[in-house]
Amino acid sequence: MNVLKISSGVIFLSTKHIGRQSVAMQNPPSIAGHACVVGKKEGDGPLKDSFDFISEDTFFGEKTWEKAETAMQKQAFSLACDKASLNPSSIEYVFAGDLLNQCVASAYSLRDSNIPFWGLYGACSTMAEGLALSAMLIDGAFADRIAAVTSSHFCSAERQFRFPLEYGGQRTPSAQWTATAAGALVLTAQGNGPYITHVTTGKICDMGVCDINNMGAAMAMAAYDTLSAHFSDLSLEPSDYDLIVTGDLGLIGHSIVMDLFNKDKIDISPYYNDCGLMLYDRDSQDVHAGGSGCGCSASVLCGHLLNGMRSGRWDRILFAATGALMSPVTTGQGESIPGICHAVSISVNKGV
Amino acid sequence: MNVLKISSGVIFLSTKHIGRQSVAMQNPPSIAGHACVVGKKEGDGPLKDSFDFISEDTFFGEKTWEKAETAMQKQAFSLACDKASLNPSSIEYVFAGDLLNQCVASAYSLRDSNIPFWGLYGACSTMAEGLALSAMLIDGAFADRIAAVTSSHFCSAERQFRFPLEYGGQRTPSAQWTATAAGALVLTAQGNGPYITHVTTGKICDMGVCDINNMGAAMAMAAYDTLSAHFSDLSLEPSDYDLIVTGDLGLIGHSIVMDLFNKDKIDISPYYNDCGLMLYDRDSQDVHAGGSGCGCSASVLCGHLLNGMRSGRWDRILFAATGALMSPVTTGQGESIPGICHAVSISVNKGV
């Protein structure tokens, strides 16, 4: 029996719970298929060979950016099912969410799917949240086939969170570029991996950062907190992973996370990267501090990272997508930006 | 082994999956505590004796409506923990979501809780979604104590979805009144009930309704679809329940659901009610077609319904919260309103 000591005493934990925030899968679910669809800018970046589809048209053939994002997400989901050799009608649940108000890209992209639907809001941590909950429901014997889907679109996000594009607002050096990208994956109870072995669920962390042009700094503490909990709960070290990737901290958040670990006398730098730094070439693509958006970590995971695991480049990855949970209204009311980070262990070996 | 026939062949289902959309708990989790906090108008309604706290102040002591909603949700969560005799620090996960853009009432209300957090967006179906996922994670042995929380606030919703209150817009007869209310409950692996025995997860249904002043009509098909799936998957009839409640369909949606069942030659009317019809006195409270908002079904469940189960009035309830998944942007772009409904079976007996 697992036990946990808290301020009010000792409590007993359920079978799969380890420490305060982590769980271990008894029968690690397998990633049967994964796909990513991106826009032109992302397709010009260093990961261009990893995407399943690159659209030359920001509108993805639609009339508005919101409908474009919907179409992009729909395509990613369809490709992930194809690559898993599964008919979408055999998927038992889909977890989906995005950045748009009321998560409409997800609702409209899956409206005609006829699949039982769980809507999420985890901001840019959505892919980790969907992946984690999918794995837990499969390991809990509630389903055999679950999909997790998310997306973001530079143009729909800019006008919702910042300014109309036509305004031509100047971006600060700390600003990040919202990826026009969607990622989808299908998890199954049986399969040849990669497998989801552990999940560490994030708590909301707020460092008091109020600058919406510095999301990386706002989310860095959440990433540090979740990664620390993961290592502590599971008695692991950074070197137990071939690669540890945070979601979309960009240059500033990524360096804050390393600083925070350095204070604990832990050097994670040999194993640590960030999807926001991987998606674009910062020198030539004018993205300032890096990429962001639900689609950033989702497209890097569903292309570059999982392809790399399948090709033998990495055996064990810790995928820790990060999200900023504010809105323009809360920012306008002087609130600081709460961050969250969920971490998912992915391994080519079932038995870790 | 459970099997399911789909167009592309027969597929095998995981142990707890029954039919296309339903699951049965192996060890039904128990509702250990539940609480609801509401505004003055709700406190003047027919369910006034069931609320844990009624605020005379729409602002709940805060300076903005969004902060008021946050405070209200925080209070409901705290009261639910108290009533479950659990320290909030012993809660292993919290599922939360609301109607505000980026679900900020939930993020800010739980920001300081230090509890692993899963953000949901299910619109007004959020309480059923949180309750269902909480039950599944507990039954899957991932946790012993999980909370589900949600809220809505008339004033924050009106200005976000419709008009500034100062505008004094006229409401149509089919319009519903967004409840100023929050509900929270704590689910535990062990306990004396009421128990969550089954979950039927909703698919997105869109009847093509584009009128945002007629949400009940937009969501009615989703409610019918999920309830039908529930009865069919589990070989149940409406009379197997003492009470079947939909979330917030109001007068119009409620009557559409009865019409749809009548076409199947099923009379659910003796067992059927709707939280949007229960929360207010439509004759005297000027709410037009009834109540709505995440807080509507959540506060009716966490007060009136669960109190009624504890007092022996009802032994078995089917709680089917409904949500409309559009946004003002999609409505402005001419899109129809997708609806969703998740159903949760609650019973005073563990072994149904």
| A9 band by pLDDT with thresholds 50, 70 and 90 | low
The superfamily CATH assigns to domain A195-347 is Stage V sporulation protein AD (3.40.47.40)
Shortest distance between the Cα of A203 and any Cα of chain B, in A, equals 4
Write out pLDDT tens, residues A303-330.
999 999 999 999 999 999 999 999 999 9
Write out pLDDT tens, residues A70-102.
999 999 999 999 999 999 999 999 999 999 999
A21 three-state secondary structure:
coil
Radius of gyration of chain B (CA): 19
Where in chain A do CATH 3.40.47.40 domains reside? Answer: 24-188, 195-347
In this prediction, residue A10 carries a pLDDT of 58
Q: Is A335 on the interface with B (CB under 8 A)?
A: yes
Mean pLDDT of chain A: 95
Nearest 5°: phi and psi at A291? -90, 165
Q: Is A121 on the interface with B (CB under 8 A)?
A: yes
Decide if pLDDT at A12 tops 60: no
pTM, two decimals, is 0.96
In this prediction, residue A1 carries a pLDDT of 44
Write out pLDDT tens, residues A333-351.
999 999 999 999 999 998 7
Q: Do B6 and A107 touch (CB under 8 A)?
A: no
Write out pLDDT tens, residues B279-289.
999 999 999 99
pLDDT greater at residue A224 or residue B17: A224
Q: Is the peptide bond before B194 cis (omega within 30 degrees of 0)?
A: yes
Range with lowest mean pLDDT among A158-167, A276-285, B4-13, B242-251: B4-13
Q: Do B64 and A333 touch (CB under 8 A)?
A: yes
Radius of gyration of chain A (CA): 19
Nearest in space to A129 (alpha carbons), one of A118, A120, A137, A142: A120
User: Nearest residue on chain B to A138, judged by CA atoms?
Assistant: B14
User: Nearest residue on chain A to B120, judged by CA atoms?
Assistant: A120
Shortest distance between the Cα of A18 and any Cα of chain B, in A, equals 9
| A132 band by pLDDT with thresholds 50, 70 and 90 | very high
**In this prediction, what percent of chain A has a pLDDT beyond 90?**
91
In this prediction, residue B1 carries a pLDDT of 44
Q: What mean pLDDT do residues B12-18 have?
A: 77
Q: How far apart are CA B208 and CA A67, in angstroms?
A: 17
Shortest distance between the Cα of A54 and any Cα of chain B, in A, equals 25
In this prediction, residue B87 carries a pLDDT of 97
Q: How far apart are CA B153 and CA B166, in angstroms?
A: 16
Q: What mean pLDDT do residues A113-135 have?
A: 98
Q: How far apart are CA B122 and CA B339, in angstroms?
A: 10
B13 three-state secondary structure:
strand
Beta bridge partners of B6: B9
In this prediction, residue B164 carries a pLDDT of 86
Q: Do B121 and A138 touch (CB under 8 A)?
A: no
Decide if pLDDT at A181 tops 60: yes
Where in chain B do CATH 3.40.47.40 domains reside? Answer: 24-188, 196-347
Nearest 5°: phi and psi at A91? -75, 130
CA-angle at B332, arms to B328 and B334, nearest 5° = 120
Decide if pLDDT at B301 tops 90: yes
Please identify, in words, the CATH class of the domain defined by B24-188: alpha beta
Decide if pLDDT at B340 tops 50: yes
Match 């994956």 to its residue by tokens.
A185
Decide if pLDDT at B352 tops 80: no
CA-angle at A193, arms to A33 and B116, nearest 5° = 85
Q: What is the complex's ipTM, to 2 decimals?
A: 0.96
E strand or H helix at A24: strand A22-24
**Residue A320 half-sphere exposure, CB side, CA atoms within 13 Å?**
36
The domain defined by B196-347 carries CATH number 3.40.47.40: yes
pLDDT greater at residue A4 or residue A86: A86
In this prediction, residue B168 carries a pLDDT of 85
Q: How far apart are CA A341 and CA A352, in angstroms?
A: 22
Task: Outline where DSSP puts E strands in chain B.
Answer: 2-6, 9-13, 17-18, 22-24, 30-38, 53-54, 93-98, 117-119, 145-152, 177-178, 181-188, 195-200, 243-246, 272-274, 291-292, 316-324, 339-347
Q: Is B166 exposed, middle or buried (0-12, 13-18, 19+ CB in 10 A)?
A: exposed
Decide if pLDDT at A5 tops 90: no
Q: What mean pLDDT do residues B259-277 have?
A: 98
CB contacts of A203 in chain B (<8 Å) are 113-117
User: Nearest residue on chain A to B25, judged by CA atoms?
Assistant: A142
Mean pLDDT of chain B: 95
Decide if pLDDT at B10 tops 70: no
Q: How far apart are CA A282 and CA A287, in angstroms?
A: 6
Decide if pLDDT at B322 tops 80: yes
B334 three-state secondary structure:
coil
